[in-house]
A and B are shown apart, each in its own frame.
Chain A
Amino acid sequence: MADQHAVAAATHGGGGGHATVKTYINVAIVLAIITAVEVASLYIPGIPGPLLVISLLAMSAVKFFLVVGFFMHLRYDHPIMRALFVGPLIIAIVIILAVMALFGAFVLLPRVVL
């Protein structure tokens, strides 16, 4: 009984619940499919460059948030944990865009030469 109490306390210090094993496996299958589509898209001729870049970034973002949301349990966690991660993540994205702008390097838009 004492052990059960200790376990209950130990597993609820983070403030949230967790997904089931079935959900974990479903998420892993989706991640594998997206990765396969990402790699396959490189070998499909005729996809316009900007469309390829946008779709690769979108698929990567979906994978990113699936892992963070389900495997890292952020979806179920306390808002403080979410703020601690999402805030710096936004800053990191701004840093990437700022450094690229600083050097005139853009993934999607070529620099206009006047």
Chain B
Amino acid sequence: MADHAAAHAVHDPNIGNTGLDNRKVGMWAFLGSDCMFFGSLIGTYLAYKGKSISGPLPHEVFDIPLTSYSAALLLASSLTMVLALAALQQNRIKPATRWLFVTAMLGLHFVLNQVYEFTTFVLHHNLTLSTSLFGSSFFVLTGFHGAHVTGGVIWLLILVMLGMRGKLDARDYTKVEIAGLYWHFVDIVWIAIFTVIYLIP
């Protein structure tokens, strides 16, 4: 059986000379580059921290309970994502599709929380992208993260639709694993943002 699997792997066009799946290698390379992208944005936020000469200050606008709830949503979605992957590995398509759907809904809830937070900042605190250095660096950093989450939710919903139409099985494991890598990445970026932006006084 191992020989058969190895033979299949040899003929799989996605397996490169290293014996690794090219799609997975590509996703890790992309995530590495995205690390540097978010590193630049977090560095800029910290560099500008406390240098705004106008507008509300972070501690005047941040809603820590709401943001903590959002952090919990993303952490929970990481668990449901690996549960989906584990179910798919055992060729249990219905539970896998269900866990993928739950993951997408948790992500959507996170995005809606962020929309609410941004709306509150703009309408109640007059904090916009152009108000101050804090406004610029905060909205760009968290906005780009929110865009990543939105992209992830769309990706997950596409996988859910494939699962519902019977076009997803254990042979698509790597496809779902790659989506999972991306999803966990937005979670770890939020772990960094939550601590550095919201929690550190």
* Known interface pairs A24-B79, A89-B35; A105-B46 also in contact (CB < 8 Å): yes
Q: CB < 8 Å: which of A39, A67, A78 contacts B64?
A: A39
Identify which of residues 1-15 in chain A touch chain B, using a CB-to-CB cut-off of 8 Å.
3-15
How far is the CB of B57 from the nearest CB of chain A, in Å? 15
Give the interface size class of chain B: 35 or more
Q: Does B25 contact A (CB under 8 A)?
A: yes
Complex CA gap A39/B91 in Å reads 39
Residue of A nearest to B28 (CB): A84
**Cβ-defined contact, A8 with B39, below 8 A:** no
Q: Does B119 contact A (CB under 8 A)?
A: no
How far is the CB of A54 from the nearest CB of chain B, in Å? 10
**Cβ-defined contact, A89 with B1, below 8 A:** no
How far is the CB of B30 from the nearest CB of chain A, in Å? 9
Identify which of residues 163-201 in chain B touch chain A, using a CB-to-CB cut-off of 8 Å.
170-174, 177, 180-181, 184-185, 187-188, 191-192, 194-196, 199-201
How far is the CB of B164 from the nearest CB of chain A, in Å? 20
Complex CA gap A8/B12 in Å reads 12
Q: List residues of chain A with CB within 8 A of the CB of B52.
A: none
* Known interface pairs A72-B184, A103-B48, A105-B47; A84-B29 also in contact (CB < 8 Å): yes
How far is the CB of A105 from the nearest CB of chain B, in Å? 5
How far is the CB of B103 from the nearest CB of chain A, in Å? 12
Complex CA gap A19/B50 in Å reads 43
Q: List residues of chain B with CB within 8 A of the CB of A57.
A: 195-196, 200
Q: List residues of chain B with CB within 8 A of the CB of A42.
A: 64, 199, 201
- Residue-wise, chain B 47-59 has the 8 Å CB interface mask toward A (1 for contact) of 1111100000000
Identify which of residues 1-58 in chain B touch chain A, using a CB-to-CB cut-off of 8 Å.
1-2, 4-6, 8-9, 12, 14-15, 18-21, 24-25, 28-29, 31-33, 35-36, 38-40, 42-44, 46-51
* Known interface pairs A7-B171, A21-B83, A28-B75; A95-B32 also in contact (CB < 8 Å): no
**Cβ-defined contact, B192 with A64, below 8 A:** yes
How far is the CB of B133 from the nearest CB of chain A, in Å? 10
Q: Does B108 contact A (CB under 8 A)?
A: no
B residues within 8 Å of A by Cβ?
1-2, 4-6, 8-9, 12, 14-15, 18-21, 24-25, 28-29, 31-33, 35-36, 38-40, 42-44, 46-51, 64, 68, 71-72, 75-76, 78-79, 81-83, 85-86, 89, 91, 170-174, 177, 180-181, 184-185, 187-188, 191-192, 194-196, 199-201
18 new A-B contacts at CB < 8 Å, known A71-B78, A71-B184, A98-B43 = A5-B4, A6-B171, A7-B173, A10-B174, A13-B21, A13-B174, A15-B19, A52-B201, A67-B188, A71-B187, A72-B184, A73-B177, A80-B20, A91-B35, A91-B39, A92-B40, A96-B42, A105-B51
